[in-house]
């Protein structure tokens, strides 16, 4: 790699190393999470000589994970210890945003150059403070704006002069939020995840605005939608750019589009490509040929980009190595940082304005309802999860007092108006105030993925803390949500019943089933020991008919083909999430007469054909291929054999067993539905049967109506 110094002469990596006394730059990383690991891999791939010599993190578990990535780096509990114990030239800050400012200042005051992950700072004032200290001390600063150094940005920038007078710039970013974080850490709320990702589309927009227009950028308009979509207009000189960042939009995309009087370019950061349409494009032949030209560029560009990534075995984020090389080169040559102070400062300023808008909207949302102190309420754990949120919604609709507990403060669009939300870590002892005014609990919270330790903390320990605290507060009714997966498989072709024994070898089914099984066992035991009523509800695979996603045992999607396992007439057990919520509330209201254990399943399960039709209504371009179990079984045996040869010390996964669906005796569930129907007001029955009939028609005309007959009544429970 060649870097150009301030005199315009190119220097090789060897010359730069010689300028540094022949030694590689010594890099220290603060933080040892996923991003820190990406940094360590990128440093190892840099052309400019550099190596990670130290890592700092207060978590010993996190540091242990970094040993696989940077085995030679010394490890410290803090940046202070790192600076005192190891001589480093550059400090990379890969910690949560709130810690960036003090860590950056500490490193600068120790005379180290700094690279700070995005968001660089939480306020423009803080960003100015950091940049001011660096300037005063003659130190370099870079922010985690790596998309500026990806190929699409470079190519699109080179094409700008060909576009004529620029008239439109658009920066678009859609992404899916993280529901869990490895290592048991609490995931950020969706609005905070939005703010965490926001700098990427913002700094890209500012970069292209700066290349196309004079002046400083300023925010013209800002709108934040109910579901987490940000629309903003940013003006610089004669040009107005549009910014769209969305949690809702699909597919996941990240692109910049620049339009001028002589054409347009589309920089795609997911595929690493640029599609160009240069020329006026006003003639008929231009209009006809343009789609084919773009398609050709997309196909060949995507193939080439993926090929380069595969050949380079790229494991860090695209653009990261290039940005590090440019930054380290600037450190050695004394040239300006590859990320300008203006780009850092204006990005921080715009993100701060969006955050202010988010907080204002959240505050208005929570202040619109004045809640009296709860006196006879229901505590719902896991109140922002799929089932917990549905339970909260149904309780509020029925006029009940509800306190929803979640692991973190929910975003505005995750809340149900009328419910009270409390953030609490159930894996730790709970405050008595959490149960003030509560007379019953619906415990839906549980770990859904991760290691054995995570399931121990967030399923088993959480269950113990909830039930013990409830009993101490005088609560006498608890509904514990388990899973049908915890039940032993009957011999032969026997059916699983509500009284089937729990599986004996719980660990053989993996962490999730183990956590659910041990939680149920513990809930029953604590109820008996503490003298409170505990009812067990075991839902099947939960589905949402409004946003239908195929349950795991139906099959797998591979690209645009869904491989359905079994045959179309097979029945598949599942539980509609709204129906499950109503059953849980019925169990609470009919606590004395409700069964102690209930396999919460659709009494009349749909066929796999019905489920596939529901899936295709949402995905009309989806192709379906059927894989009968008679073919899957020998393929599974072969896969087991290959796994045992390739990984003799690890357990082999039996694919056929993973897709096998046991038969359930739903007679108890049918009785419950009948009792729910009799308990519901007549007016509610009429209205909801009509609505369900409409939904049944949407489901498919091949026998799907039985499924919806189950949900015909949506009871309105009295307080």
* 167 and 301 co-located in one domain: yes
Mean pLDDT over residues 60-83, rounded? Answer: 94
The answer to the question of residue 169 being in a domain is yes
Mean pLDDT over residues 542-558, rounded? Answer: 89
At residue 181, the pLDDT reads 54
At residue 261, the pLDDT reads 95
pLDDT at 314 over 70: no
Mean pLDDT over residues 622-646, rounded? Answer: 82
User: At which of 312, 331, 351 does a domain end?
Assistant: 312
Mean pLDDT over residues 241-253, rounded? Answer: 93
Percent of the chain with pLDDT over 90: 65
Q: How far apart, in whole angstroms, are the C-alpha atoms of residue 203 and residue 149?
A: 12
The CATH number of whichever domain residue 56 belongs to comes to 3.40.50.720
At residue 184, the pLDDT reads 47
Q: Is 547 exposed, middle or buried (0-12, 13-18, 19+ CB in 10 A)?
A: exposed
* 393 and 510 co-located in one domain: yes
* 69 and 206 co-located in one domain: no
At residue 20, the pLDDT reads 53
The answer to the question of residue 610 being in a domain is no
* 131 and 209 co-located in one domain: no
pLDDT at 695 over 60: no
At residue 509, the pLDDT reads 77
At residue 659, the pLDDT reads 77
Highest average pLDDT, of 99-108, 191-200, 615-624, 696-705, comes from: 99-108
At residue 451, the pLDDT reads 84
pLDDT at 713 over 60: no
Cα dihedral angle (457, 461, 462, 465), rounded to 10 degrees?
A: -140
At residue 358, the pLDDT reads 83
The answer to the question of residue 473 being in a domain is yes
DSSP count for the chain of H helices, then E strands: 23, 27
pLDDT at 689 over 60: no
Work out the pLDDT band at 651, boundaries 50, 70, 90: low
pLDDT at 68 over 70: yes
**Half-sphere exposure of residue 445: CA atoms within 13 angstroms, side-chain side:** 31
pLDDT at 104 over 80: yes
Tokens 């995507």 sit on residue:
302
Work out the pLDDT band at 715, boundaries 50, 70, 90: very low
pLDDT at 133 over 90: yes
Mean pLDDT over residues 610-632, rounded? Answer: 90
The answer to the question of residue 709 being in a domain is no
* 133 and 187 co-located in one domain: no
* 128 and 156 co-located in one domain: no
pLDDT at 634 over 90: no
**How high is the mean pLDDT of the chain?**
86
Q: How far apart, in whole angstroms, are the C-alpha atoms of residue 385 and residue 396?
A: 16
* 387 and 253 co-located in one domain: no
At residue 706, the pLDDT reads 38
At residue 510, the pLDDT reads 84
Mean pLDDT over residues 380-388, rounded? Answer: 95
Out of 22-26, 381-385, 656-660, 681-685, pick the least confident.
681-685
Residues in the chain: 719
The domain of 286 spans 151-312
Mean pLDDT over residues 342-354, rounded? Answer: 97
User: At which of 146, 168, 184 does a domain end?
Assistant: 146
* 115 and 187 co-located in one domain: no
User: At which of 146, 181, 199 does a domain end?
Assistant: 146
What does 438-458 look like in DSSP terms, one character per residue?
EEEEEE-----SS-HHHHIII
Highest average pLDDT, of 7-21, 176-190, 425-439, comes from: 425-439
Mean pLDDT over residues 313-323, rounded? Answer: 81
At residue 701, the pLDDT reads 30
* 291 and 408 co-located in one domain: no
User: 462-472 and 511-530 helices cross at what angle (nearest 10)?
Assistant: 20
* Structure confidence by residue, pLDDT tens digits, 451-465: 899 899 999 999 999
Report which DSSP code applies to 234: E
**CA distances for 161 relative to 158, 202, 265, 276, angstroms:** 7, 22, 11, 13
pLDDT at 546 over 80: yes
At residue 625, the pLDDT reads 95
At residue 84, the pLDDT reads 96
* Structure confidence by residue, pLDDT tens digits, 482-495: 999 999 988 877 89
- Do residues 352 and 125 make contact, with C-beta atoms less than 8 angstroms apart? no
At residue 353, the pLDDT reads 95
The answer to the question of residue 329 being in a domain is no
Q: How far apart, in whole angstroms, are the C-alpha atoms of residue 539 and residue 577?
A: 9
DSSP helix/strand/coil, 600: strand
pLDDT at 366 over 80: no
Mean pLDDT over residues 694-706, rounded? Answer: 33
* 61 and 187 co-located in one domain: no
* Structure confidence by residue, pLDDT tens digits, 135-166: 999 999 999 999 999 999 999 999 999 999 99
Q: How far apart, in whole angstroms, are the C-alpha atoms of residue 195 and residue 449?
A: 25
Percent of the chain with pLDDT over 70: 87
The answer to the question of residue 568 being in a domain is no
Out of 190-199, 356-365, 570-579, pick the least confident.
356-365
Comparison of pLDDT for 645 and 206, the residue scoring more: 206
Token pair recorded at residue 30: 């603060």
DSSP helix/strand/coil, 259: strand
Q: Is 703 exposed, middle or buried (0-12, 13-18, 19+ CB in 10 A)?
A: middle
* 141 and 203 co-located in one domain: no
The answer to the question of residue 227 being in a domain is yes
At residue 73, the pLDDT reads 96
Work out the pLDDT band at 703, boundaries 50, 70, 90: very low
**Residue ranges in 138-240 assigned as alpha helix (H):** 151-159, 190-197, 199-212
pLDDT at 536 over 70: yes
Mean pLDDT over residues 410-425, rounded? Answer: 91
The answer to the question of residue 171 being in a domain is yes
* 131 and 172 co-located in one domain: no
The CATH number of whichever domain residue 161 belongs to comes to 3.30.360.10
At residue 22, the pLDDT reads 60
Mean pLDDT over residues 679-697, rounded? Answer: 45
- Do residues 419 and 435 make contact, with C-beta atoms less than 8 angstroms apart? no
pLDDT at 6 over 50: no
At residue 14, the pLDDT reads 53
Look up the pTM and report it: 0.79
At residue 639, the pLDDT reads 75
**CA distances for 654 relative to 236, 642, 644, angstroms:** 59, 11, 11
At residue 150, the pLDDT reads 94
> Count of domains in the chain?
3
């Amino acid at each position: 790699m060649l870097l150009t110094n301030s005199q315009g002469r190119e220097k090789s990596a060897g010359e730069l190393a010689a300028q540094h006394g022949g030694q590689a730059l010594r890099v220290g990383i603060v933080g040892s999470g996923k991003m820190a690991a990406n940094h360590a891999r990128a440093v190892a791939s840099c052309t400019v000589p550099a190596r990670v010599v130290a890592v700092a993190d207060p978590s010993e578990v996190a540091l242990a994970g970094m040993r696989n990535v940077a085995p030679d780096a010394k490890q410290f509990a803090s940046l202070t210890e790192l600076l005192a114990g190891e001589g480093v030239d550059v400090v990379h800050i890969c910690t949560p945003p709130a810690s960036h400012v003090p860590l950056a200042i500490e490193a600068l005051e120790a005379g180290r150059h700094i690279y700070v992950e995005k968001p660089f700072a939480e306020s423009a004032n803080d960003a100015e403070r950091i940049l001011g200290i660096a300037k005063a001390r003659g130190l370099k600063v870079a922010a985690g704006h790596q998309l500026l150094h990806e190929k699409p940005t470079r190519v699109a920038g080179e094409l700008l002069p060909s576009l004529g007078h620029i008239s439109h710039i658009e920066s678009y970013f859609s992404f899916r939020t993280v529901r869990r974080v490895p290592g048991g850490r609490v995931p950020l709320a969706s609005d905070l995840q939005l703010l965490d990702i926001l700098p990427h589309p913002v700094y890209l927009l500012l970069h292209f605005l700066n290349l196309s227009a004079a002046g400083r950028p300023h925010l013209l308009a800002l709108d934040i939608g109910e579901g987490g979509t940000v629309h903003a207009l940013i003006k610089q000189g004669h040009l107005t750019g549009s910014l769209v960042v969305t949690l809702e939009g699909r597919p996941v995309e990240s692109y910049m589009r620049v339009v001028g009087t002589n054409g347009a370019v589309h920089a795609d950061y997911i595929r690493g490509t640029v599609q160009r349409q240069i020329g006026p494009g006003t003639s008929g032949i231009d209009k006809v040929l343009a789609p084919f030209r773009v398609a050709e560029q997309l196909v060949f560009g995507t193939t080439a980009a993926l090929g380069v990534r595969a050949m380079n075995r790229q494991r860090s984020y695209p653009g990261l190595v290039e940005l590090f090389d440019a930054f380290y080169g600037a450190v050695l040559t004394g040239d300006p940082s590859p990320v300008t102070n203006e780009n850092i400062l204006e990005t921080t300023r715009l993100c701060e304005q969006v955050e202010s808008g988010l907080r204002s909207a959240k505050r208005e949302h929570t202040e619109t309802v004045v809640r009296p102190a709860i006196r006879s309420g229901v505590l719902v754990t896991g109140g922002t999860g799929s089932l917990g949120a549905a339970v909260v919604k149904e309780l509020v609709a029925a006029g009940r007092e509800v306190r929803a507990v979640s692991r973190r403060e929910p975003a505005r669009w995750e809340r149900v108006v009328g419910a009270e939300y409390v953030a609490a870590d159930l894996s730790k002892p709970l405050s008595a105030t959490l149960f003030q005014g509560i007379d019953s609990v619906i415990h839906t919270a549980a770990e859904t993925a991760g290691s054995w330790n995570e399931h121990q903390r967030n399923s088993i320990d959480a269950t113990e803390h909830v039930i013990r605290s409830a009993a101490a507060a005088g609560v006498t009714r608890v509904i514990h949500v388990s899973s049908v997966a915890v039940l032993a498989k009957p011999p032969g072709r026997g059916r699983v019943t509500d009284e089937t024994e729990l599986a004996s070898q719980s660990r053989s089914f993996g962490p999730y089933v183990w956590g659910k099984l041990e939680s149920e066992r513990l809930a029953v035991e604590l109820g008996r020991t503490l003298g409170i009523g505990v009812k067990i509800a075991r839902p099947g695979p939960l589905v949402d008919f409004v946003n239908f996603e195929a349950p795991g045992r139906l099959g797998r999607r591979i690209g645009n083909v869904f491989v359905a396992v079994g045959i179309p007439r097979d029945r598949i057990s599942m539980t509609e999430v709204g129906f499950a919520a109503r059953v849980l509330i019925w169990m609470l209201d009919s606590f004395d007469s409700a069964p102690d254990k209930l396999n919460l399943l659709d009494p009349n399960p749909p066929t796999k054909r019905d489920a596939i039709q529901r899936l295709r209504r949402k995905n009309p371009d989806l192709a379906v291929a059927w894989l009968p179990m008679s073919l899957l079984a020998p393929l599974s045996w072969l896969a087991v054999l290959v796994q045992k040869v390739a990984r003799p010390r690890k357990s082999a996964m039996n694919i056929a067993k993973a897709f096998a669906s046991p038969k359930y005796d739903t007679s108890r569930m049918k009785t419950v539905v009948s009792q729910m129907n009799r308990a519901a007001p007549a007016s509610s029955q009429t209205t909801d049967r009509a609505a369900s009939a409409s939904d049944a028609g949407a489901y498919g005309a091949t026998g799907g109506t039985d499924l919806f007959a189950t949900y015909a009544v949506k009871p309105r429970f009295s307080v």
